[in-house]
Amino acid sequence: MPVFDKILIANRGEIALRVIRAAREMGIKSVAVHSTADVDAMHVRMADESVCIGPPSSTDSYLSVPALVAACEITGAQAIHPGYGFLSENAKFVQVLEDHEIAFIGPTAEHIRIMGDKITAKDTMKKLGVPCVPGSVGGVPDLDAALKVGAEIGYPVIIKATAGGGGKGMKVAQSAEDMETAFRTARAEGKLNFGNDEVYIEKYLTTPRHIEIQVFGDGKGGAVHLGERDCSLQRRHQKVFEEAPGPEIDPKTRAKIGKVCADAIAGINYTGAGTIEFLYENDEFYFIEMNTRLQVEHPVTEAIFGVDLVREQIRVAQGLPMSFTQDDLEVQGHAIEIRINAEKLPNFTPCPGTISQYHAPGGLGVRMDSALYDGYSIPPYYDSLIGKLIVHGRDRPEALARLSRALGELIVDGIDTTVPLFHALLQEPDILAGTYNIHWLERWLDENMD
């Protein structure tokens, strides 16, 4: 295993800064890559070196494998950190890097492949003793088979594209009458977005919370869990507010499901950070998918355990042991993250533009991960996430009070953002009490955002 003195970050925005910061603290130099639309981006300014890898379209830049490999060769970077999104869960990319002897800061191509296909992932997890949502065994080839599964497990059901992600390729059928449309739409979305029309069917849970377990493996059969995050506040299956620990999860439950997850990834010699996602209803966990990368919401876990997950990723990618054991990991307080998007309410219309003034909140227990600066022009080509505000307190009420205070300090002028949504949510008794499930936000938006 090589020892890295320079790594390339195949990403942009706040996550590129996140990785540059971890590398710098480890004495490792960083290389930023950027499209022509991102010449003035903060990650380019902050890295030790930068390479332009193509035009604005991400297909021709951040997703261009030849350009990334060439950038490593030009700069002498020995490894690539993929961040999240873009190529972070692309097994072929990881394979190409292996062929070029460039280290990938993440799991093996094989693990990404297994977990990237949701049917295979579910099957693998089931065999490893992880509880799953009841549903079809493997793929469902046609409408007749789909109706049979529906009759067996009972409606409502959800039809999911095996290659799906980011909330795409999922359709609910409330009854047998809905099945034909839902089945065809899920297949079509799978084909259109992921080039794969295979689908499977699950029981649709009506009041679950989204609880995910952060796991970390050393690639040599050693693994730990870092508790859960509750990411139930979602819009169109996309998370907007995350917290750790989960308001409904007690230490005993955490230890039990955490051990199941850590044992599962130890059983496959998993390397690096991963997240095992569950729906949680009536005190039961149901596996839905595993993400084989760092998640957007990882900072809430870092806050309550006092660890740097990116540093750990870089360590294990060099063949070094993890810097903590399960016994070292103890929950300290409560953390909340909100995702701030450049979007105009009430329709969440993307709203790129120039930032006339930016002021980040600070003070005890406040972390602002953002690549914004005064005068920065947000290009229209990429994701609308412009910042993550993370707060940490001794308990949930303190974290909520801190979030409210920090939001009051934040200034993002010149564009519309989703900040007003959070001001409003922090007035809601259900948010203050932590009593919400995955459908709460959609319902609230319907009632409050006309």
Among positions 28, 264, 268, 438, the unique one binding ligand ADP when judged by CB under 6 A: 438
Please state, in angstroms and rounded to a whole number, the distance separating the CA atoms of residues 367 and 389. 6
Determine which residue in the list 55, 131, 139, 165 makes contact with ligand ADP, applying CB under 6 A.
165
Nearer to ligand ADP, 73 or 284 (CB): 284
How far is Cα 53 from Cα 311, in angstroms, rounded to an integer? 26
- How many chain residues are in contact with ligand ADP, going by CB under 6 A? 19
> Does position 237 bind ligand ADP by CB under 6 A?
yes
Say how far apart CA 261 and CA 75 lie, in whole Å: 38
- Asked if residue 243 binds ligand ADP (CB under 6 A), the reply is no
Q: Which is nearer to ligand ADP, 181 or 207 (CB)?
A: 207
- x/- contact string, 316-355, with ligand ADP (CB under 6 A)? ----------------------------------------
Question: What order of strands is seen across the sheet that includes strand 6-9?
Answer: 49-54, 29-35, 6-9, 79-81, 103-104
158 binds ligand ADP (CB under 6 A): yes
Q: Is 164 in the site for ligand ADP (CB under 6 A)?
A: yes
Residue among 169 and 222 whose Cβ is closer to ligand ADP: 169
**Residue list 194-223, contact with ligand ADP (CB under 6 A):** 202-205, 210
CA atoms within 13 A on the CB side of 316: 25
Residue with smaller CB distance to ligand ADP, 50 or 295: 295
Residue 300 interacts with ligand ADP (CB under 6 A)?
A: no
Query: To the nearest whole angstrom, how small is the minimum distance from the Cβ of residue 86 to ligand ADP?
Result: 16
Give the phi and the psi of residue 5 in degrees, each rounded to 5: -115, -5
Q: Which residue has the tokens 């909520």?
A: 400
d(CA 251, CA 60): 47
C-alpha 228/C-alpha 257 separation (Å) is 9
**Which pair of structure tokens corresponds to residue 238?**
């996309």
DSSP class of residue 107? S
Q: How far apart are CA 115 and CA 122, in angstroms?
A: 8
> Beta strand 199-203 with 223-235: parallel, antiparallel or unpaired?
unpaired
Q: How far is the CB of 426 from ligand ADP (least distance, A)?
A: 22
Is 131 or 165 the residue whose CB approaches ligand ADP more closely? 165
SS3 430: helix
- Nearest Cα to Cα of residue 407 among 393, 395, 392, 420: 420
Over the window 268 to 297, marking each residue x when it contacts ligand ADP by CB under 6 A and - when it does not, the resulting string is ---------x-x--------xx--------
Question: Distance of CA 370 to CAs 363, 405, 415, Å?
Answer: 16, 18, 15
**Burial, 99: exposed, middle or buried (Cβ in 10 Å; 0-12, 13-18, 19+)?**
exposed
133 near ligand ADP (CB under 6 A): yes
Q: Which residue, 214 or 234, is less far from ligand ADP as judged by CB? A: 234
Among residues 76, 129, 138, 167, the one that binds ligand ADP under rule CB under 6 A: 167
What size, in residues, is the chain?
450
Please give the DSSP secondary-structure letter assigned to residue 351.
-
114 near ligand ADP (CB under 6 A): no
- 278's enclosing H/E stretch is strand 271-281
Q: How far is the CB of 210 from ligand ADP (least distance, A)?
A: 4
Q: How far is the CB of 89 from ligand ADP (least distance, A)?
A: 10
Classify residue 84 by its DSSP letter.
S
C-alpha closest to that of 83 among 303, 342, 273, 319: 273
Of residues 197 and 308, the one with the C-beta less far from ligand ADP:
197
**Least distance to ligand ADP from the beta carbon of 134, Å?**
9
From the CB of 163, what's the least distance to ligand ADP, in Å?
9
Residue closer to ligand ADP, measured from CB, 165 or 414:
165
DSSP 233: E
416 forms part of the interface with ligand ADP (CB under 6 A): no
Active site residues: 293
Report the interface residues with ligand ADP, using CB under 6 A: 133, 158, 164-167, 170, 202-205, 210, 234, 237, 277, 279, 288-289, 438
